[in-house]
């Protein structure tokens, strides 16, 4: 068991989002999302304790190539990344348990540059546990954990030395284009001279393979997404999970993303007492929970360039399923 008292001098936790703030923001986003077209609910509803466990199960499915493909690239290229950046601080956005990040921490430690790890995540419980675990595993490294939202709190990420900002798992693909542009603009504004951004990107490929990753034969992904309805009902007093919705995860070729959620199997009204609304669904109407965009190098390069970042390195796994790109600011200080 981790001895937190002994590790405390090397661990700092800044809480920028408390539970009341988080709940208020989530309720507000849900209220407006249910008025959007298509209707949608924030993907954060997916990740209660049960949802997190189901997602971990998904990452081990044979159909879900994303996690293993990204890990293969990190195994092959972590030393190159460490040598190129010589980062003193590794910042991880949406860090979770920081499992794959160990490959970067190991490489930077071997390079001899690593001094500090800064994980940023909205889940305080998971983040704090991970922070102390990393502090125990890397005795010479300070850990400065930030409980916050990577879309709103990049400006408070500690600076002052060479930083590598890692955003892995193709999480950036869950942001619609406008949100993605704002996020990249914020990252570009936060990067200083000598800093770098490392992005994990699921790449465009045969749509049948992409769809199979979200429609696994064992139905684990469907259970994961349906769990969001159970969480909504528990937190908002709604009756989504008792109503009639078919799981629907399909490839949208126009947007080059997976559209993940449900379709109403009949005209119906869903009560959401905590938000003070009743929501009408037509027969067949969609309820979106998440999108997962897939990327092409030229699009990534253009989006980075639009915010003043230049793509310096591009790596893929052997099949070309997944990519890691390293970007630098091209704006002199």
Say what the pLDDT of residue 100 is. 82
122 vs 134, 147, 227, CA distance in Å? 18, 5, 19
Mean of pLDDT values over 272-276: 96
pLDDT band at 305 (very low <50, low <70, confident <90, very high): very high
pLDDT band at 1 (very low <50, low <70, confident <90, very high): low
Dist CA 148 CA 156 (whole Å): 10
> Domain residues of the chain, as ranges?
4-18+61-206+294-329
pLDDT band at 6 (very low <50, low <70, confident <90, very high): confident
Say what the pLDDT of residue 56 is. 87
For residue 248, pLDDT over 70 is answered with yes
Mean of pLDDT values over 227-252: 94
Say what the pLDDT of residue 331 is. 58
Dist CA 287 CA 40 (whole Å): 5
Task: Name the more confident of 98 and 191.
Answer: 191
In the chain, pLDDT over 90 holds for what percent of residues?
70
For the stretch 157-172, pLDDT in tens is 777 689 999 999 999 9
For residue 2, pLDDT over 70 is answered with no
Name which CATH class applies to 4-18+61-206+294-329.
alpha beta
For the stretch 19-49, pLDDT in tens is 777 788 889 999 999 999 999 999 988 888 8
Residue 33, classified by CB atoms within 10 Å of its CB into exposed (0-12), middle (13-18) or buried (19+), is middle
Q: What is the mean pLDDT of the chain?
A: 91
Q: Are strands 268-272 and 277-281 parallel, antiparallel or unpaired?
A: antiparallel
For the stretch 79-108, pLDDT in tens is 999 999 999 999 999 856 667 889 999 999
For residue 333, pLDDT over 60 is answered with no
Residue owning tokens 């915010």? 307
| Long-range Cβ pairs for the range 31-40 (8 Å, 24+) | 31/275, 31/277, 34/272, 34/275, 34/277, 34/279, 38/285, 38/286, 38/287, 38/288, 39/279, 39/281, 39/285, 39/286, 39/287, 39/288, 40/261, 40/287, 40/288, 40/289
Whether residue 249 contacts residue 291, with contact meaning beta carbons closer than 8 Å, is answered with: no
E strand or H helix at 55: helix 49-58
Residue 292, classified by CB atoms within 10 Å of its CB into exposed (0-12), middle (13-18) or buried (19+), is buried
308: left (phi over 0), alpha (psi -120 to 50) or beta: left
Residue 218 CB coordination number (10 Å):
12
Mean of pLDDT values over 128-138: 88
Mean of pLDDT values over 218-235: 95
* Nearest one of 104, 94, 77, 106 to 163, comparing CA atoms: 104
Radius of gyration of the chain (CA): 20
Name the phi and psi angles at 203, rounded to 5.
Answer: -95, 150
Helices 220-236, 19-33: crossing angle, 10 deg rounding = 110
Cite the beta strand spans of the chain per DSSP E: 11-15, 39-40, 89-93, 116-121, 142-147, 163-167, 196-202, 245-252, 257-264, 268-272, 277-281, 286-293, 309-316, 322-329
């Amino acid at each position: 068991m981790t001895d937190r008292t002994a590790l405390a001098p090397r661990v700092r936790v800044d809480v920028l989002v408390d539970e009341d703030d988080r709940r208020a923001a989530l309720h507000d986003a849900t209220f407006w999302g249910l008025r959007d077209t298509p209707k949608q609910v924030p993907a954060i509803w997916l990740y209660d304790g049960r949802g997190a466990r189901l997602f971990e199960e998904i990452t081990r499915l044979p159909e879900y190539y994303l996690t293993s493909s990204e890990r293969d690239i990190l195994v092959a290229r972590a030393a190159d990344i460490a040598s190129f950046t010589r980062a003193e601080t590794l910042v991880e956005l949406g860090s979770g348990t920081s499992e794959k990040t160990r490959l970067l921490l190991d490489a930077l430690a071997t390079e001899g540059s690593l001094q500090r790890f800064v994980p940023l995540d909205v889940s305080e419980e998971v983040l704090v546990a991970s922070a102390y675990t990393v502090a125990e595993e890397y005795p010479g490294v300070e850990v400065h954990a930030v409980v916050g939202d990577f879309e709103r709190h990049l400006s408070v990420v500690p600076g002052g030395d060479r930083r590598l900002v890692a955003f892995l798992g193709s999480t950036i693909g869950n942001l619609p284009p406008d949100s993605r542009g704002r996020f990249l603009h914020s990252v570009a504004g936060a990067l200083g001279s000598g800093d770098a951004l490392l992005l994990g990107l699921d790449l465009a490929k045969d749509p049948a393979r992409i769809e199979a990753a979200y429609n696994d034969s064992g139905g684990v992904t469907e259970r994961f997404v349906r769990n969001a309805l159970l969480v909504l009902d528990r937190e908002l007093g709604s009756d989504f999970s008792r109503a009639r919705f078919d799981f629907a995860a399909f490839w949208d070729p126009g947007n080059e993303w997976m559209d993940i959620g449900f379709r109403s199997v009949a005209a119906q009204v869903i009560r959401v007492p905590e938000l003070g609304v009743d929501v009408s669904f037509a027969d067949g109407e969609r309820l979106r929970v998440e999108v997962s965009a897939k990327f092409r190098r030229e699009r990534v390069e253009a989006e980075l360039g639009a915010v003043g970042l230049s793509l310096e390195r591009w790596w893929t796994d052997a099949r070309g399923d997944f990519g890691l790109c390293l970007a630098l600011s091209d704006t002199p200080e």
